[in-house]
Chain A
Amino acid sequence: MNGTWLPRSLPRTDGGAKADGSMKFFSDLFPEGCLHGKVIRSPHPRARIMSLDVVRALKVRGVECVLTAKDVPGMNAYGVFYQEAPVLCHEFVNFVGDPVALVAAETEEQAEAGAEAVEVRYEPLPAVTSMEEALKPGAPSIHPKGNVARHALLERGDTGSALARAHLVVKNTYLTQRQKHMFLEPEAGVGYYDQEGKLTLLVGGQSPYRDRLQVARSLGIPKEEIRVVSFPVGGAFGGKDDVTVQIHLALLVMKTKKPVKMVWTREESGAAGYSRHPFKIEMETGVNEDGKLVANRALLFADTGPYQSFGPAVLDVAMETINGPYFVPNYVVDAHLVRTNNGISAAFRGFGAPQANFAIEGQMNEISEKMGMDRLELRRLNIWRSGEEGNFGLRLGDCSGLSECVERASKSPLLSMRGHVVKGKPWVRRGLGVSLAVKGIGFGTLPDYPEASVEVDPGGFVKVGFSNPDYGQGLLTANLQVVAEKLGLSPEKIVVEDADSGVVPDTGSSSASRSTYTAGGALLDACDRALFALRKAAASELKANPAMLEYRSGRFYVKGRGGASIGLFDVARVMSRDGGRCRFVGSFPVPRHPSTVAGSLEIPHFIYSFAALLGEVEVDVLLGKVEVKRLMLYADVGRVLNPTLASAQCDGGMIQGVGYALMEDHIYEGGHPKTKNFSTYLVPCPTDVPTETHTEFVSSSEGTGPYGAKGVGEIPIVPVASCISDAIHDAVGVRLRELPMKPERVLEALGEPQLNLGPLDVLGDVDV
């Protein structure tokens, strides 16, 4: 069903100010008299703090305070799941970047000088710098409960027997790397006491209400005394889902009673910021003669660093998606969240799904090769089907979008590509890759009750409030369109309020592809509540029965009574006569399965997004360089509300996926980060971006979503690495199972390329 404002490619509400540079991010703010905060961080991956002397630092000109663990008034710990990361380290440090002390000074330079003058004496301790080391008997224990933070086991059927009887078993090990978010604005914020004495934090985060609770808990102050504002945010991708500068800022403001600004340097972000979990996945997959999957055994290890942050849930998503969108009657998923003294791994777009996808889709492609089956046909045989039993024993919901993704991909013009030789470039081979992807929307079986508000202002506009920050996704605009459609108003009459815990209701975090789904759902409820109340007031004004009123495009009409009507804002004016506000808070109990799969935290999800990806690459067999020429994504994200923004999300996700596949790698050596800056950490530049990225959204409408929407934030990144790996294989005949697939790895896999590739036909029949 098409509406007036949905689907429609309205320009982003925040686009102009971001494009012309007039939008002030928090790192652009300089409140009058503000101090500058700096963090003194551990240079060691693991050490005991022998002494910490701040006397010299306090004498540095301009330094207002130097704070250590003893100055932390609360529980001195934070963490979304488990409160184990210290606000400031007391006795031990557990990674390079662990915070030890804080300095606030009048200028940034003075703060830096003060930080340098803090004297910390460490006794370095043996560090655990890899998962292999962490799991060795007798390894130094990072946590009193050992180095395995979480072990989870999911089982179904008799995997051993099924593998023994299988027609073909493919067994491989997949390694994925640590990826950094590399948002343009590093972790930053400003804190101060407002005129009412409220501790106010303007911080680029993903969940202002949860951040508020984390600050309150760690510092022992009532949450009502804290206000967190999380818009605008200069990029996040999951890297600002857990707290970054919030608690330190709050502590400095509390101690100095002055405004404080803190902006991490890029290097600081590289060491102390979060990363995507590196995974090691061993997988054994069996099929029968027809190509039907019969069993999958997966052994997963994820490096979470010293503190868990989102690690437990990341492991869950990897476990949930490790079988892909395929029915597998017998499986064992044995997963371990491993502590090391490397930096903290946490949330990152896809949240464990890209890692799992790299493994299962690698298996599928190898199976299709060995079975001599078409890659999409193998998938068509095994994908989830609506109404059938799923891997977790529940009847599956609507999966028709998944089938449609496969069908659309099978008709793609990319599949007509023939030959591997690029005319005029005998050293370059061309290949086509295939993969599918699945990603849950929201928090699975974890309870989720987002709220949002709609306020009809007598001044002639509607204020819309929700707390999921827009850090680039476009959800401000999409949700504005939801309200415009529901209220029949022009978008110009709708204003979206900032993600501010002091102003808007708690909608939860911007994460898990949930923001438009959840905020949109709560906004629709708020609109219903608004229209219900306004209808009653309108009926009173029009001296009619409320049931006789019809609402259209901003006016209530009395049915059958000529032109008798009253405008929405006129009703609001009447309702506000006594000074009240026409503000309505709606809620959206996110649908979920009533029970959780044993051994998991949140499995299964209630709804999923799906995708099929085709990718064309060219591999330079002399240099090992892989160029991604075209990526064609067929995606089921529910109903698309704003086609341009949804396509842009997919473009961004695919390009970030190219970085993950080919170059991005946050390297740790001996527990020390080696790639803290853009000079050493490679991200896709314009020349690395595929010549063409194209997304086709399949027809889909999620019954529980706002106007049929599901979520689009994560699915486009999930299949990219596996697809490119398959395309490389198609081009040059080698399968890479370690990310990133950088030139040296490609060359190593190729060995002597000419020997592997046969004659290089310069007269190949492929046009370029």
Chain B
Amino acid sequence: MRLISVTVELGGPYREEHGQWHMIRLPEGSTVRDALRRVGVEEELYIVVVRNRRQSSLGEALRDGDNLVAYPPVGGG
């Protein structure tokens, strides 16, 4: 099975819990959700996911070289 490489950055509390930067390899056809689970993020509701600098959904299929950023919409000041 062909593998794709995806970088994942976690922000806010996810960063504290699971680390900030992750470079992972996933089977082709994997989704944003698969990538986030791989790095330990199970949350599916209170989360903002950005794929290649655009807001994304968990079900979107990933491509080789994709960049993901995921964070709860916590906000600061």
Give residues 16-54 of B contacting A (CB, 8 Å): 20, 45-46, 48, 50, 53-54
Q: Decide: A511 near B77, CB < 8 A? Known: A446-B11, A446-B71, A589-B53.
A: yes
Q: Decide: A351 near B73, CB < 8 A? Known: A213-B46, A217-B46, A223-B45.
A: no
Shortest C-beta distance, A283 to chain B (Å), equals 21
Contact of B73 (CB < 8 Å), options: A313, A445, A508, A596 = A508
Shortest C-beta distance, A74 to chain B (Å), equals 10
Contact of A310 (CB < 8 Å), options: B15, B46, B77 = B77
Contact A602 B73 (CB under 8 A): no
Q: Decide: A210 near B55, CB < 8 A? Known: A216-B45, A446-B11, A449-B69.
A: no
- Enumerate chain B residues within 8 angstroms of A506, measured Cβ to Cβ: 48, 55
Instruction: Tell me, in angstroms, the Cα distance from A506 to B55 when the chains sit together.
Output: 9
The residue in chain A whose Cβ has the minimal distance to the Cβ of B76 is A313
The residue in chain B whose Cβ has the minimal distance to the Cβ of A588 is B53
Contact of A317 (CB < 8 Å), options: B12, B15, B55, B77 = B77
Contact B77 A213 (CB under 8 A): no
B74 touches A (CB below 8 Å)? yes
Contact A512 B75 (CB under 8 A): yes
Contact A80 B74 (CB under 8 A): yes
B13 touches A (CB below 8 Å)? yes
Interface residues on A, range: 35 or more
A316 touches B (CB below 8 Å)? yes
**Which of A82, A316, A601 lies at the interface centre, i.e. has the most chain B CB atoms within 10 A of its CB?**
A601
Give residues 446-461 of A contacting B (CB, 8 Å): 446-447, 449, 451
- Enumerate chain B residues within 8 angstroms of A601, measured Cβ to Cβ: 12, 76
- Enumerate chain A residues within 8 angstroms of B12, measured Cβ to Cβ: 81, 446-447, 601
- Enumerate chain B residues within 8 angstroms of A723, measured Cβ to Cβ: none
Contact B15 A443 (CB under 8 A): no
- Enumerate chain B residues within 8 angstroms of A634, measured Cβ to Cβ: none
Give residues 182-198 of A contacting B (CB, 8 Å): none
- Enumerate chain B residues within 8 angstroms of A512, measured Cβ to Cβ: 75-77
A569 touches B (CB below 8 Å)? no
Instruction: Tell me, in angstroms, the Cα distance from A170 to B3 when the chains sit together.
Output: 61
**Which of B12, B53, B71, B74 lies at the interface centre, i.e. has the most chain A CB atoms within 10 A of its CB?**
B74
Q: Decide: A446 near B76, CB < 8 A? Known: A587-B55, A601-B12.
A: yes
Instruction: Tell me, in angstroms, the Cα distance from A216 to B45 when the chains sit together.
Output: 8
Contact of B77 (CB < 8 Å), options: A82, A313, A585 = A313
- Enumerate chain A residues within 8 angstroms of B20, measured Cβ to Cβ: 595-596
Instruction: Tell me, in angstroms, the Cα distance from A503 to B45 when the chains sit together.
Output: 20
**Which of A352, A353, A602 lies at the interface centre, i.e. has the most chain B CB atoms within 10 A of its CB?**
A602
Contact of A443 (CB < 8 Å), options: B13, B46, B53, B75 = B75
Contact of B13 (CB < 8 Å), options: A81, A241, A511, A587 = A81
Shortest C-beta distance, B36 to chain A (Å), equals 14
Contact A587 B53 (CB under 8 A): yes
A509 touches B (CB below 8 Å)? yes
Contact A449 B45 (CB under 8 A): no
Instruction: Tell me, in angstroms, the Cα distance from A275 to B55 when the chains sit together.
Output: 32
Q: Decide: A313 near B53, CB < 8 A? Known: A81-B13, A596-B15, A601-B12.
A: no
Instruction: Tell me, in angstroms, the Cα distance from A313 to B76 when the chains sit together.
Output: 5
Contact B55 A214 (CB under 8 A): no
The residue in chain B whose Cβ has the minimal distance to the Cβ of A210 is B73
- Enumerate chain B residues within 8 angstroms of A213, measured Cβ to Cβ: 45-46, 73
Contact of A241 (CB < 8 Å), options: B11, B15, B75 = B75
- Indicate with 1 or 0, residue by residue over A511-539, a CB within 8 angstroms of chain B CB atoms: 11000000000000000000000000000
The residue in chain B whose Cβ has the minimal distance to the Cβ of A314 is B77
The residue in chain A whose Cβ has the minimal distance to the Cβ of B53 is A589
The residue in chain B whose Cβ has the minimal distance to the Cβ of A82 is B13
- Indicate with 1 or 0, residue by residue over A219-243, a CB within 8 angstroms of chain B CB atoms: 0000100000000000000000100
- Enumerate chain B residues within 8 angstroms of A82, measured Cβ to Cβ: 13
Contact B45 A509 (CB under 8 A): no
Contact of B75 (CB < 8 Å), options: A80, A352, A505, A589 = A80
Contact B48 A313 (CB under 8 A): no
- Enumerate chain B residues within 8 angstroms of A443, measured Cβ to Cβ: 75-77
The residue in chain A whose Cβ has the minimal distance to the Cβ of B45 is A217
- Enumerate chain A residues within 8 angstroms of B50, measured Cβ to Cβ: 447, 449, 589
Contact B75 A207 (CB under 8 A): yes
A444 touches B (CB below 8 Å)? yes
**Which of B53, B69, B77 lies at the interface centre, i.e. has the most chain A CB atoms within 10 A of its CB?**
B77
A347 touches B (CB below 8 Å)? yes
- Enumerate chain B residues within 8 angstroms of A511, measured Cβ to Cβ: 75, 77
- Enumerate chain A residues within 8 angstroms of B53, measured Cβ to Cβ: 449, 587, 589
Contact B55 A347 (CB under 8 A): no
Instruction: Tell me, in angstroms, the Cα distance from A216 to B73 when the chains sit together.
Output: 14
Contact of A352 (CB < 8 Å), options: B46, B55, B77 = B77
Instruction: Tell me, in angstroms, the Cα distance from A451 to B49 when the chains sit together.
Output: 13
Contact B76 A449 (CB under 8 A): no
- Indicate with 1 or 0, residue by residue over B60-77, a CB within 8 angstroms of chain A CB atoms: 000000000101111111
**Which of B12, B13, B48, B76 lies at the interface centre, i.e. has the most chain A CB atoms within 10 A of its CB?**
B76
Q: Decide: A509 near B75, CB < 8 A? Known: A217-B45, A447-B11, A449-B48.
A: yes
- Enumerate chain B residues within 8 angstroms of A445, measured Cβ to Cβ: 11
The residue in chain A whose Cβ has the minimal distance to the Cβ of B49 is A449
A209 touches B (CB below 8 Å)? yes
Contact of A444 (CB < 8 Å), options: B45, B48, B76 = B76
Shortest C-beta distance, B63 to chain A (Å), equals 18
Instruction: Tell me, in angstroms, the Cα distance from A446 to B11 when the chains sit together.
Output: 6
- Enumerate chain A residues within 8 angstroms of B13, measured Cβ to Cβ: 81-82
- Enumerate chain A residues within 8 angstroms of B15, measured Cβ to Cβ: 596
Shortest C-beta distance, B61 to chain A (Å), equals 19
- Enumerate chain A residues within 8 angstroms of B73, measured Cβ to Cβ: 80, 207, 209-210, 213, 508-509
Shortest C-beta distance, A213 to chain B (Å), equals 5
Instruction: Tell me, in angstroms, the Cα distance from A511 to B77 when the chains sit together.
Output: 7
Instruction: Tell me, in angstroms, the Cα distance from A241 to B75 when the chains sit together.
Output: 10
The residue in chain B whose Cβ has the minimal distance to the Cβ of A714 is B77
Q: Decide: A508 near B75, CB < 8 A? Known: A447-B9, A447-B11.
A: yes
Q: Decide: A447 near B55, CB < 8 A? Known: A217-B46, A313-B77, A596-B15.
A: no
Instruction: Tell me, in angstroms, the Cα distance from A223 to B48 when the chains sit together.
Output: 12
Q: Decide: A351 near B55, CB < 8 A? Known: A217-B45, A447-B11, A447-B71.
A: no
Instruction: Tell me, in angstroms, the Cα distance from A589 to B53 when the chains sit together.
Output: 6
- Indicate with 1 or 0, residue by residue over A14-46, a CB within 8 angstroms of chain B CB atoms: 000000000000000000000000000000000
Q: Which 9 A-B pairs have the closest CB atoms?
A: A351-B77, A313-B76, A447-B11, A443-B76, A210-B73, A449-B50, A512-B77, A602-B76, A447-B71
Interface pairs (21), CB distance under 8 Å: A81-B74, A216-B45, A217-B45, A217-B46, A223-B45, A310-B77, A313-B74, A313-B75, A313-B77, A350-B77, A351-B77, A352-B77, A442-B76, A446-B12, A447-B69, A506-B55, A512-B76, A512-B77, A587-B53, A589-B53, A601-B76
Which A residues have a C-beta under 8 Å from some C-beta of B?
A: 80-82, 207, 209-210, 213-214, 216-217, 223, 241, 310, 313-314, 316-317, 347, 350-353, 440, 442-447, 449, 451, 505-506, 508-509, 511-512, 585, 587, 589, 595-596, 601-602, 714
